Amino acid sequence: MRYEKGHKDATRERIVDVASKLFRQNGVAAVGLAGIMSDAGLTNGAFYNHFESKEDLVQAVLASALNRRETKLKTASGLEGIIRDYLSSSHRDGAGGGCPTAALVAEIARHSKTTRDGFTEKVSAFIPLIASQLAKGSAAERRRIAVAIYGMMIGTLQLARAVNDRKLSDEMLESGVAAALQLAGLAD
Amino acid sequence: MRYEKGHKDATRERIVDVASKLFRQNGVAAVGLAGIMSDAGLTNGAFYNHFESKEDLVQAVLASALNRRETKLKTASGLEGIIRDYLSSSHRDGAGGGCPTAALVAEIARHSKTTRDGFTEKVSAFIPLIASQLAKGSAAERRRIAVAIYGMMIGTLQLARAVNDRKLSDEMLESGVAAALQLAGLAD
DNA sequence: TGTACATCAGTGAACGCGCGTTCACTGATGTAC
DNA sequence: TGTACATCAGTGAACGCGCGTTCACTGATGTAC
């Protein structure tokens, strides 16, 4: 073969990584395939050697990014660290490498059933992972709190990103951290 | 004049209302001007009699929709009702007539400074309105809780919309209501 | 009072552009005989 | 060992399409004289 073994897989992964960053930074609708391929060091014609369509790429990107998030959640040392990390200024300012849910959840709601299925599956896996980090309460209570903390982190991060006032944005992150810790039973 | 007094204002308002609904349902990027004008019963050329650009329309839509939200907040009877209304299945299923922030916050973060300025101003006005509905705590504490409740409502509503599983989606809304009431000091 | 002109919201065709997608082709390597 | 062919990741031009935007034009009304 012209290319060494694993070359195609590596190229595909590179396309997914580039698209993942661009999608999270600018949204799926605002990012074109030509730009993705060019950032990946290829020409646009090569795209269809790797994916059936843009929607297919979206699914691959979500699966990849959500899996990484899941691994991060699994290996995190504690819920307080997860919360502080999530609602940090560096996460706010680095959407391209950050949580795909916060960046893309509204768009996902408008995508194909298959895309939403994949997202639903991963979100379903996140909830017990967060719940298992909670110290207090029945299983049902922990699950309920986990969902609320997840929702709050996503919404607060998005607000902090949209708002055009650094002080207000910082305040939002801090308020989110405090409330999440309170819900988790970790408040001072 | 060809048209009665107030005709142009009424037309402009109709365009804003149509765009407001379509933007919230499908996102700004996914909605074209021709579709908006056609839904408003006009042809696309008339658009520029009313707005300078699509971005100008986006600003008008946000101002209008956020002002309506503000009025709704001001005239609401109590925080519990606001929360239950916000995290209801009808709000989840009716994005076109619902909260513009939940539908568009991620896109707003990527729009022009002017657009973000307008959004920031309105969000800044919402926070004290929510805070004033809280019964307990110092002014700073009430403000902190208000921000967190707002963030949670937005994030949870978006999650409930994106997820492709009715039962999970309903559970998210219920968990969000319970946690918001808990933060507000209104829990059973 | 009648006529010529100004006003202006709206029409609808056209502009250049970038989109997602297709396709004939390239050329380095592996395989068959 | 040498030659003919198959493989296939990638190239780059082209496709039709819808986008935001522009513009010459329409025609009903108001205004001037």
Per-residue pLDDT at A73 exceeds 90 = yes
Which tokens go with B93? 């299923």
Strand nucleotide closest to residue A30 (CA to C1') = C19
Q: Directed axis angle between helix A113-131 and helix A139-162, to 10°?
A: 120
The radius of gyration computed from the CA coordinates of chain B, to the nearest angstrom, equals 18
Sign of CA dihedral B105, B110, B114, B115: negative
Strand nucleotide closest to residue B33 (CA to C1') = D20
Q: Which nucleotides of C are covered by protein (CB under 7 A)?
A: 7-14, 18-24, 27-30
pTM: 0.95
Footprint of strand D on the protein (CB under 7 A): A 1-3, 7-8, 11, 42-46, 49-50; B 1-2, 31-35, 44-45, 47-48, 53-55
Least confident interval from B1-10, B18-27, B49-58: B1-10
Partner residue facing B162 (CB), from A113, A116, A147: A116
C-alpha distances in angstroms, B168 versus A120, B163, B173? 9, 7, 9
C-alpha distances in angstroms, A114 versus A56, A68, A109, A111, B23? 9, 20, 11, 8, 23
- pLDDT at residue A69, rounded to an integer: 97
Print the SS3 string covering chain A: CCCCCCHHHHHHHHHHHHHHHHHHHHCCCCCCHHHHHHHCCCCHHHHHHCCCCHHHHHHHHHHHHHHHHHHHHHHCCCHHHHHHHHCCHHHHHCHHHCCHHHHHHHHHCCCCHHHHHHHHHHHHHHHHHHHCCCCCCCHHHHHHHHHHHHHHHHHHHHHHHHCCCHHHHHHHHHHHHHHHHHHHCCCC
Per-residue pLDDT at A155 exceeds 70 = yes
C-alpha closest to that of B17 among B53, B50, B48: B50
Half-sphere exposure (CA, 13 Å, Cβ side) for A151? 36
The C-alpha atoms of residue B79 and residue B164 are separated, in whole angstroms, by 29
Mean pLDDT of the region B87-97? 98
Q: Is B77 on the interface with A (CB under 8 A)?
A: no
Strand nucleotide closest to residue A55 (CA to C1') = C20
Find how far residue A96's CA is from the centre of its chain.
9
C-alpha closest to that of B78 among B37, B122, B132, B33: B132
Partner residue facing B106 (CB), from A103, A150, A182: A103
pLDDT digits (tens, 9 = 90+) for B106-138: 999 999 999 999 999 999 999 999 999 999 999
B187: pLDDT confidence band, cut at 50, 70 and 90? confident
Q: Which residue is nearest to nucleotide D6 (CA to C1')?
A: A1
The C-alpha atoms of residue B8 and residue B45 are separated, in whole angstroms, by 15
**CB neighbour class for B176 (10 Å; exposed up to 12, middle 13-18, buried from 19):** buried
User: Around Cβ B13, how many Cβ atoms within 10 Å?
Assistant: 15
Query: Is B151 in contact with A172 (CB distance < 8 Å)?
Result: yes
Mean pLDDT of the region A57-61? 98
pLDDT digits (tens, 9 = 90+) for A18-37: 999 999 999 999 999 999 99
Footprint of strand C on the protein (CB under 7 A): A 1-2, 31-35, 44-45, 47-48, 53-55; B 1-3, 7-8, 11, 42-46, 49-50
The radius of gyration computed from the CA coordinates of chain A, to the nearest angstrom, equals 18
C-alpha closest to that of B25 among B165, B116, B161: B161
